[in-house]
Structure 1
Amino acid sequence: MTKDAYTMILEAIDAGVYRPGDRLVESELAERFGVSRTPVREALQRLETQSMLARDGRSLIVASLDHNQLAELYVVRAELEALAAALAAKHAAPEEVRVLEDMVARDWEQMTDAFELARSNKLFHRQIHLASHNRYLVQQLDLVHRSMALLASTSLAADGRRDAALREHQAIVEAIRTGDEAGAAAALRAHISNAFETRLKLDAAAGRKDRY
């Protein structure tokens, strides 16, 4: 299936090709993706409406999240992800659980690659969303994770976070496997909380470097 301009631009932002603050130029995007300028213009307007892009004078740039927006995003993410985990513990098929277990096992093998682990992490969370078997929840989580693309870095780049995150993933999957709805929700909520704390520490460290 051919991807439209909106999807291609969104995926480029998610992959870090375009980062917060980067200017998006209609003609350059059309050339890059091999499409005409009209669908690119429509895609940019749609992304601006969704707050993925912001105005900088006459230009459109990839939006960034301030501290309050980041905190709000993680609050919503934690609660929706916890609900997805609880529903997965209730509804996931044995095959879905085995897929999650395989994902964690593979991730232990790529511990040294933070970028690849971050990509795999998104797939892992997406699999939990699908295992919830609730289409409306999946739609809302898609919106949340679209906004997560506006974060310039991954918390998995922090020292020690990769090992801790995978151990947290194991705990989540184990709770889902045993049908422990409350335990799955608690494990995933704690996982998101730890990721948020790590990101705050990274941002604080970056702020200190900027001042000196």
Structure 2
Amino acid sequence: MPDTVPSDAYGRILTAIDVGEYRPGNRLVESELAERLGMSRTPIREALQRLETQGVLARDGRSLIVASLDHDQLGELYVVRAELEGLAARLAAQHAAPEEVAVLEDMLAEDEGYRDDPDALSRANKRFHRQIHLASHNRFLIRQLEGVRRSMALLTSTSFAAEGRTPEALAEHRQIVDAIRARDGDAADDATRAHISAAYRTRLRVDAEDA
């Protein structure tokens, strides 16, 4: 589970999807969620409607299910992610406070301890990228990246589970942080785009093997 759990219905349902408690194709029932979360049905209903509008949930007859991404949608998502994440890293190289860079360095050191735990590393990876988003100091970009994060929650597995991906990803994170610390926006952008491209290739390979 994440370090902090939201208190509102929308945030708690989205977090449950993000950590895999609900996976693509799973049905979400208003009454069951209200009982599970200890909330009235009204905020649950509003949260489900919001998530459907955002494309996180989809209709299956009269039921709401967690949406899934097809091959084309996955490609479209990674194109947008590479553009936005690259821009965030470029802006972080320009605007990150020294303390924010230090936090990224701390995260790199901590993540070394998750080499044998793909799920923990996946959660750490989300924190790492979120920290770069915040270090960009651009609220409009951060808002767009939140939309990307919601869509990434619809992926059924983590690419860190693929053989050999963990050491590659950690090395890529190091390159990104080194560029941000050096205040080299071009290098930060390039390293981030290469990182997202490698993650996409890994996911395509995993999906092909599972087909």
- TM-score range normalised by the length of the shorter chain: over 0.9
Matched residue, 1:89: 93
Say which SS state the counterpart of residue 114 (structure 2) adopts: coil
Distance 1:34 1:46, change over 3 A: same
Give distance in 1, aligned partners of 2:90 and 2:149: 19
Residue 144 of structure 2: which of 133, 140, 143 is its match? 140
Give distance in 2, aligned partners of 1:172 and 1:2: 29
Deviations 1:187-208, CA, capped at 9 Å, x for gaps? 000000000000000000010x
Verify the 8 A CA contact 2:6 2:12 in the aligned structure 1: no
Q: Tell me if 1:149 matches 2:153.
A: yes
Matched residue, 2:197: 193
Q: Tell me if 1:112 matches 2:125.
A: no
1:154 maps to amino acid: T
Count the aligned residue pairs. Answer: 207
Query: Within 5 A, what are the aligned runs for 1:13-162?
Result: 13-162=17-166
TM-score, normalised to structure 1's length? 0.96
1:90 maps to amino acid: Q
Verify the 8 A CA contact 2:27 2:63 in the aligned structure 1: yes
Q: Tell me if 1:11 matches 2:15.
A: yes
CA RMSD of aligned residues (A): 1.0
Q: CA deviation at 1:84?
A: 0.4
Structure 2's unaligned 5+ residue stretches are none
Verify the 8 A CA contact 2:85 2:133 in the aligned structure 1: yes
Give distance in 2, aligned partners of 1:125 and 1:106: 14
2:177 maps to amino acid: V
1:204 maps to amino acid: A
Q: CA deviation at 1:2?
A: 6.8
TM-score, normalised to structure 2's length? 0.96
Query: Within 5 A, what are the aligned runs for 1:162-177?
Result: 162-177=166-181
Q: Which runs of 4+ in 1 moved over 2 A?
A: none
Deviations 1:3-35, CA, capped at 9 Å, x for gaps? 111111111001100000000011110000000
Distance 1:17 1:131, change over 3 A: same
Deviations 1:78-98, CA, capped at 9 Å, x for gaps? 000000000111111111111
Q: CA deviation at 1:57?
A: 1.1
Matched residue, 1:210: none
Q: CA deviation at 1:43?
A: 1.1
Deviations 1:144-192, CA, capped at 9 Å, x for gaps? 1111000010111100101100000000000000011100000000000
Give distance in 2, aligned partners of 1:177 and 1:57: 51
Distance 1:12 1:2, change over 3 A: closer
